[in-house]
Amino acid sequence: MSQLPVIVGMGGVNAAGRTSGHQAFRRTVLSALDADTQASTLTGLAAMMRLVNTDGSSPWQDTSGQSLDAEQIVARYQQQVLDHTLIRRIEDPMFGADGIPANRPAQLSIEAPLVFHVRRRQLPEQLPETWQVRELDRRHVEVTVPPGQFDVSLPERRGAQVRTAGQLPSGFEPSSLYRSVHHPRGLSMAIFGASDCLGQSGLDWETLRDRLDPDEIAVYAGNSIGQLDDAGWGGLLKSYASGNRATSKQMPLGYGQMPADFLNAYVLGSVGATGAVQGACATFLYNLRVGIEEIKSGRRRVVMVGTADAPITPEIIEGFRTMGALADDDSLKALDALSLLTDADYQRACRPFARNCGFTIAEASQFVLLMDDGLALETGAQILGSVPGVFTNADGWKRSISAPGIGNYITLGKAVSLARDILGEESLRTRTFLHAHGTSTPKNRTTESHVFHQVATANGITSWPVVAVKAFVGHSQGSAAGDQLVSALGSFAHGWLPGIPTLDVVADDVHAERLQFFAEPLAFEADAAFINAKGFGGNNATGLVLSPSVTERLLVQRHGQAAIDAWKDRREPILEASRNYEAGADRGHFQALYRFGQGVLEGPELSVEADQIGIPGYAQPVSLAVENPFGSLGDAHRDSDHTNDEQ
């Protein structure tokens, strides 16, 4: 019997807040929540943003030390929290009025000798033949350039043409939570996301690891375009042009698989399977697919899956802008018929399935911890849902590498077929919803809605609810489907689907006949969600996620009611540990796990045998037994040789 991959932990961060405790989800349905839940959401975000603090036992305090209660926090900081979460104007100063630092090549015509003084170390390594250099002192020289043509780069400030993004909540800096030394932002976010996932799970990682063969654990994590800020490949690639030295960390830390490497080396200490699958905007689902297939086959029992993307840099934004993919300021103003002297409505920049002009870039880190259902029952792990299938297909022949194609019809069709087999026709038609890729580009609103319409028609679905969470948090590239997945888990827990608040009117070219769009949160008890992703290059993926209640019904069918009752008893301390973690996080106490230099092994310490390898610090050895599905030639080959000798 195939193992059922269940979700036993989730963690991360995006523009809406922290993933654990469904904080980010609650921010997207804030208006639908009761007063107490609204207040706890706002105070938790205020603590995350360092507007208030507490040592855990004393009352809340503002930054001046004044004591506050929850009601006072909400009254004082609510608007600040609302204004500095979700999509908003980019808060990095280089995107402001002074502009982005740049250089412009120029050729000067010098009519008379040009004389200047400069530090010796700032001279080019190879001086032009016509330059005359005179020493002034040990550190300075005088340079004379004769009349003629002189090539220079003139420093300038270029006004940002895109000023909106889905940034992490203001004041939250993941690198400040552990000993980060020149780590790219995406890797700091990965450390936080994985730590948040483990904390939310309520499981003790060391205890869990000790009961398993180390090779029964796997990590599949990455991102869509690597680490391209200055601490990663971004700084490396522009080091010559910028005049800065490349560092020894920029090259290795820039790789796209580095989130998985960081988790293995500094968070989990895992020696099991590892990898990162890049699939553009579908990257999270591509890695999730590998993880669940490993569990379904029985090769792994625990898998951490995730992504961390930090693409809010001038260069990446400019790349997407020149493609015509991003919603730039001028296009947003034209869309709303605003004067060029008026600021665009930055918080409404992303408008899935409405009249729109491009996507809004964002940063996010999302991780889930998967187990096979048998181990989850044995350990008493909480079960947030299950993922029976993720499907990926390419587009075939394409006119443009970035244009959408036909693969998404196949992926969604397969996911719906699996859901129908598990849930039945009635549940499929009335108790499932779509988490759309919903990028807010004119092409996406037409093509993705047509995919939904065709699959709905084929399956007799007449009013399929559509969620497009990018309207709140923007497009976090490879982490986008992770944002969608954890939002779906929030819907299962709270019974609300986030609306599309920027959807004033559905665009005329959207195929909406069988789809249900809504601007405000919708009360909806769901059995399953479809997580849809359409990536550049033809990277299509759709995942089927089952609710906790449906998952429990499957577990009763697979293991019997007695096993489920016993699991619920074992689950109580896990739930208590999870609640304690979330309570601390709501007060701004985060446990970023980062174990640099601990338990390092290099080989001589191992106990190597023919059938297993013992590793100091790991309770169970690694089994070297592998399945051989091809048959053995060893004995037959020896017997054949012996027979030939006798003849």
Annotated catalytic residues are 281, 437, 475
> Is residue 379 within 8 Å of residue 570, measured between CB atoms?
yes
Tell me the C-alpha distance between 647 and 581, whole Å: 75
The residues that bridge with 132 in the sheet, in sequence order, are 144
Q: Smallest Cα–Cα separation from 574: which of 8, 6, 3? A: 8
Complete edge-to-edge strand list for the sheet that includes strand 140-145:
114-119, 140-145, 132-135
- Helix, strand, coil percent content, the chain, rounded in steps of 5: 40, 20, 40
Residue 554 parent element (H or E): helix 548-559
Q: Smallest Cα–Cα separation from 284: which of 527, 478, 53? A: 478
Tell me the C-alpha distance between 24 and 486, whole Å: 9
> Is residue 131 within 8 Å of residue 144, measured between CB atoms?
yes
> Is residue 548 within 8 Å of residue 525, measured between CB atoms?
no
| b/e burial code for range 319-342 (CB count within 10 A of at least 16 → b) | ebbeeebbbbbebbbebeeeeeee
Residue 356 is encoded by which pair of tokens?
């729109």
Residue 82 is encoded by which pair of tokens?
């609302």
Give one word for 269, left, alpha or beta, with left for phi > 0 and alpha for psi -120 to 50. left
The DSSP bridge pattern shows strands 364-372 and 5-14 to be: antiparallel
Lookup result for tokens 């299938």? 389
Residue 23 parent element (H or E): helix 23-28
C-alpha distances (whole Å) from 455 to each of 171, 215, 299, 427, 437 are: 43, 40, 33, 16, 16
Maximum distance among all Cα pairs of the chain, rounded to whole angstroms: 100
**Side chain identity at 228, as an amino acid letter?**
L
The burial class, CB within 10 Å (0-12 / 13-18 / 19+), for 527 is: buried
> Is residue 132 within 8 Å of residue 11, measured between CB atoms?
no
Residue 607 is encoded by which pair of tokens?
């106990």
The residues that bridge with 222 in the sheet, in sequence order, are 307
Number of residues assigned to the chain: 647
Tell me the C-alpha distance between 433 and 547, whole Å: 11
Write phi, then psi, for 221 (nearest 5 degrees): -155, 145
> Is residue 478 within 8 Å of residue 284, measured between CB atoms?
yes
